[in-house]
Structure 1
Amino acid sequence: MRNSLIISLLLFLLFSSLQGQTSNWVDISPGPTNYCFDMHWLDDNQGFVVGMDSAKYYCYRSSDGGNSWANSQLPARMTRVFFIDAQNGFATGNGLFTKTNDGGLSWVNSVALPGLPFSPTAVEIQFTDLMTGYATYISGFDSYGFKTTDGGSTWANVAFPIPNGSIQLANLTAARKTFWFLDAMNGFAGQESGWLHYTNDGAVSWDSIQMATDFLPVVIDFVDSATGFATGQGKTYQTTDAGQTWNLRSSPSKFGDANEFVGTHTEFHANSEAITPSTWLSGMIKSTSGGLFFEVVDAPGSGSWVCDDLDFPSPLRGYALTIRSSVQFTQTAIWKTSNGAVGLEQPVSQAIHLEIFPNPARETLGLRVRRTGLHWAAVQDLQGKELLRSYTNGFQPTLALDVSALPVGMYLLRARTRDGQLIAKQFIKAK
């Protein structure tokens, strides 16, 4: 408990020290007056956004990482979008569904989903192939699930394990990836405290896996066919066997529903916390060690922006959809980072002068800086995976790292100083 409090304090101090620095996020919103509902990026450069402008609804598409956008008008109000490849995309909203097979240039006439009341809210849409797709909606205190097996021409009602009339419905509107299907038959869904639900028959029936009683799985995210994560209420479970078993691992509790996992060891968590009804504080943390260590990184926008969605096609290239509201207006923005939301390593200035010793190192690697202090130091392998990390109080100019357990080879030492400068040097682990 004491260690957790110390780490939380250090994260807070580090986040505070980063305020006012040059942002590592660039605003790439499709237009100055549009409102963006959802986004989906296929890779570092190709992405799609659904939104509205002047009471008309559009799909915006970019093939150069948001530097330029083209748009096509949607047949109705669509608030969720999913592309299975560069040509085939699907969108839903307001109880309607549409699709494209030409990369968003044109969209077919919308199809109504059956049995929905007036003006429902779309939660999620996902297709596992060109024919099979799933969608969820809420209206009032009721939830609705749908499935298609003919590419969206017709939809049938299916039961998703979402309790009606409960706080879980509020979580649905705030999160993305509330369910995840590995293929047409095998999928996972959350939204019930202490349980993760799964289906092996395409949502005809659901079974349950018991988890911690205070765990409410809100976001489910698979990075490949075997490795997936379920997050919520400050906890993260991980599977490496396609969901047969799940293991609880550490996760910072103050970061919430906007989460993104990139491969097996890189992840981003964003959250917003109300200070007053019109003032918000936003923040983001990142791990490159599979959740063993976290660092505070640059968040998209200023403190008034709330991060609604994250999409990182690769560890360095990421996109964020943010919202900010006031009594007068609600505004959205799309942001891009090209350096993993953290400043590029800067050359060590003469004033700081990072010294590491001995190099090569066998048991202990020492660090020393001048005229400042160290917040933390970390060791990464050459593939970018963080292997160990040590924190200080921010005023300590020296630090010793135990590297005795590392295999022989070349490594990258990264450190952040009290004044926020991120510095790096390579070292060799000797026999």
Structure 2
Amino acid sequence: MHLLIKNHSIMKKTLFIIILVVSIFDVVHAQWKLNLEISTSLNSVYFVDDLNGWAVGTGKILKTNDGGQTWSMKAVGSSVELTSVQFANKNLGWAVGTKQRGSLSVGVVFKTIDGGGSWREFEITSSGWLTSCSFVNENMGWITGEDGKIHKTVNGGTKWQMIETGSDNILNGVCFVDHDNGWAIGNGGQILRSTDGGLTWSIQSFGTNNHFEAIFFIDCCLGFVMGGSFDNMSVIFKTIDGGISWEKLNCNLFGKIKAGYFINDQVGYCVCETGGIFKTTSGGYYWEAFYLVPLPGGRPYFFNDVYFSDKDHGWAVGEGYIFSTDIVNGTIFTNNGVSGYPSLLLQNVPNPCSDITTICFSIKSTTNVGLTIYSLSGTSIDRIVDRGFKPGDYQFTIDLKAYQTGIYYYSLVTDSFAETKKMVVVR
């Protein structure tokens, strides 16, 4: 038998290093492409469908009507820092943030009724820093800011009512799912809940080191709050009863989560302060990292927001760039200007698994292929494949009846490619 790995001791050492890396998160070779690089830092992105979207940041509002292939830019002043954007439809939308006036910071709301062609500015002098907005229709919306203040409008943002929540922390996010039920998050590990349209708030505290940055509710019961710190494990809390109680998830992400978006109770996406776009298919417990084409000069990525217009079309923005994904049609992988697709190893399905599971992989050129399953300690358990393959997509169904409950790793090795992923067997 021709062995692809001739030195078993070297293989075990290499695999052990790979295991240390993938024990944090696996890398997914898929579907995110760089749409735009600009000198402006972007903080928030919103799409009303798969074509029409907006992004905001330092002194700029960007607009696209072709899914992010091209963008137009409108300047709103170099002293303006916009932190959040939302649209009710293709014409009506809002962007919030702060404006520096000398040594004074003033909260600002920009409103458009023509899809971003023009914007009307409103000042909120009672708050110097506005962080997030949430609208449930064309008239009713809420804004969070500093000192625990929340502002509410019932006339589309022309006038705002300031509400004292009882918190004195900076509130970083707000999310309402209807006229009555809403939540806000802030520094100091605080989650605020309202059931009367934001007029009164109850406060729950989860430790001063749990700084919350992102909030997302699918409906009035199921929601996620995310955050953390730069040099620690990420923090994710989940509720299934509308925020009456919260479960802290032991996830595998590191660093502060800046934003998150969930398609359903299992599938979600997030971006972290430490860089990268991540996906979960386990309701937030386990996350995979997407492979991103490196920036020129090897600059690191710093993302601030991620948003999906539907389950297949998503965008992420950060410190001078916009990325997009089209899960239905896929995105051609580009390396050094040459289009094509790389050899890649996909996550086994299902995972966790019990009796059987399926492993899929793609090969870009004729090559020898080895597919092996290893124990957590690096011992070879099962040699699934060891032969030559032509370019194409392949799948193998694995019988797991002889496997014990535990964590395993499967590794794909070709003449020019190697990748390892984690598999969990449960009984």
Please classify the TM superposition score into its range, dividing by the shorter chain length: 0.5 to 0.7
Decide whether aligned partners of structure 1 residues 420 and 287 sit closer, same or farther in structure 2, where only a CA change above 3 A counts: farther
- Give the Cα separation in 2 of the matches to 1:183 and 1:363: 43
- Equivalent residue for 2:123? 112
2:320 corresponds to 1:313: no
2:45 corresponds to 1:50: no
Deviation string, structure 1 residues 64-89 (Cα, Å, up to 9, x no partner): 21112234554883613211222210
The Cα shift of 1:127 comes to: 1.5
2:168 corresponds to 1:163: yes
Contact 1:163 1:191 in 2 (8 A): no
Contact 1:249 1:291 in 2 (8 A): yes
- Equivalent residue for 1:131? 139
Deviation string, structure 1 residues 253-284 (Cα, Å, up to 9, x no partner): 414323332222112233244xxxxxxxx334
Contact 1:161 1:189 in 2 (8 A): no
- Give the Cα separation in 2 of the matches to 1:195 and 1:201: 19
Deviation string, structure 1 residues 208-250 (Cα, Å, up to 9, x no partner): 3465786544321012343211223333222334334433333
Q: Mind listing any 5+ residue stretches in structure 1 that lack a counterpart? A: 1-5, 173-177, 274-281, 324-331, 377-389, 405-413, 424-431
- Give the Cα separation in 1 of the matches to 2:213 and 2:54: 24
- Equivalent residue for 1:77? 80
Amino acid at match of 1:10: I
Q: Mind listing any 5+ residue stretches in structure 2 that lack a counterpart? A: 1-14, 100-106, 229-233, 334-339, 362-367, 385-397, 403-408, 422-427
Decide whether aligned partners of structure 1 residues 46 and 192 sit closer, same or farther in structure 2, where only a CA change above 3 A counts: same
Decide whether aligned partners of structure 1 residues 78 and 353 sit closer, same or farther in structure 2, where only a CA change above 3 A counts: closer
Decide whether aligned partners of structure 1 residues 212 and 72 sit closer, same or farther in structure 2, where only a CA change above 3 A counts: closer
Percentage of matched positions with identical amino acids:
20
Decide whether aligned partners of structure 1 residues 213 and 396 sit closer, same or farther in structure 2, where only a CA change above 3 A counts: farther
2:288 corresponds to 1:295: yes
- Equivalent residue for 1:336? 324
The Cα shift of 1:188 comes to: 1.0
- Equivalent residue for 1:428? none
Q: Secondary structure at the match of 2:276?
A: strand
- Give the Cα separation in 1 of the matches to 2:17 and 2:154: 47
Decide whether aligned partners of structure 1 residues 13 and 251 sit closer, same or farther in structure 2, where only a CA change above 3 A counts: closer
2:272 corresponds to 1:268: no
The Cα shift of 1:294 comes to: 3.1
2:156 corresponds to 1:154: no
- Give the Cα separation in 2 of the matches to 1:184 and 1:366: 45
Decide whether aligned partners of structure 1 residues 319 and 252 sit closer, same or farther in structure 2, where only a CA change above 3 A counts: same
2:425 corresponds to 1:417: no
Decide whether aligned partners of structure 1 residues 60 and 200 sit closer, same or farther in structure 2, where only a CA change above 3 A counts: same
Decide whether aligned partners of structure 1 residues 286 and 227 sit closer, same or farther in structure 2, where only a CA change above 3 A counts: same
- Give the Cα separation in 2 of the matches to 1:231 and 1:129: 25
The Cα shift of 1:391 comes to: 7.4
- Give the Cα separation in 1 of the matches to 2:191 and 2:42: 31
Decide whether aligned partners of structure 1 residues 149 and 364 sit closer, same or farther in structure 2, where only a CA change above 3 A counts: closer
TM-score normalised by structure 1 residue count: 0.65
RMSD of aligned residue pairs (Cα, Å): 4.6
Match of 1:12 among 11, 16, 21: 21
TM-score normalised by structure 2 residue count: 0.66
The Cα shift of 1:319 comes to: 1.2
Deviation string, structure 1 residues 96-115 (Cα, Å, up to 9, x no partner): 2221122222223x222132
Decide whether aligned partners of structure 1 residues 321 and 8 sit closer, same or farther in structure 2, where only a CA change above 3 A counts: farther
Match of 2:226 among 225, 231, 234: 231
